[in-house]
Amino acid sequence: MGQEIPYEEAKGCKSMSIINILRNPGFTNNLDDWHTYGWYTGNTITWCSSGGVAGPCVELAVPAEKGQSIIEQTVQLDAGTYTAKIHAKRISGYADIWMQVYAGGWKYSPSMKSLITDTQYNEISFEFTIPATSQVVVRYIVGSAEGVIRVNSLVFEIRPIFSEL
């Protein structure tokens, strides 16, 4: 049996491989496999054929009356530690972005508003633990203020465990 090595220590290893659990994470097939909704009529989720890190992206917009624009996907996960990641770029306004995971109860990331800019895509992430095998809902949310944020390259990965040789 191998010994677990902390992720930060091991992430530079050449043999590290990450498995993305999400379907259509780069939106190459439009919004297929994603559920989308907004709290109010003016909250919109728009697929864009370009404008992402490398190809398509999705714009989540919240008008002046606030609310939330949400994309989500349900996946089957075994117990373990996972990381949800997303590349995000502010197009306009001051909307916030955060992530939620539901596995027998909601787990919320902190606000990630300060981690995104209007000049480039920035990767933001949220690590969490699933206590038992279950269906898990993964949400990426834009809201709390007016604005438009583009998202791309969504990743939902198993935190790798490395073995000593």
Does residue 159 or residue 161 have the better pLDDT? 159
Which of 35, 34, 41, 71 has its CA nearest to residue 150?
A: 71
Give the pLDDT of residue 120. Answer: 92
Q: Which of 6-20, 23-37, 106-120 has the lowest mean pLDDT?
A: 6-20
Q: How confident is the model at residue 9 (pLDDT cuts 50, 70, 90)?
A: very low
In the prediction, which pLDDT does 164 show? 43
Residue with tokens 């502010």: 90
Percent of the chain with pLDDT over 90: 36
For the chain, list the domains and their CATH numbers. 33-158 (2.60.120.260)
Res 8 pLDDT > 70: no
Pick 142 or 21 by higher pLDDT.
142
The whole-number pLDDT of residue 13 equals 43
Average pLDDT over residues 107-131: 89
Per-residue pLDDT of 58-86, as tens digits, reads 999 999 767 899 999 999 888 888 888 89
Beta bridge partners, 139, equal: 72, 100
| Separation between Cα atoms, residue 138 and residue 43, nearest integer Å | 19
The per-residue pLDDT for 11 is: 46
The contacts of residue 134 (CB under 8 Å, 6+ apart) are 76, 77, 103, 104
The per-residue pLDDT for 25 is 87
Q: What is the pLDDT of residue 62?
A: 94
Q: Is the pLDDT of residue 10 over 70?
A: no
Confidence check: pLDDT of 17 > 70: no
Higher-pLDDT residue of 156, 99: 99
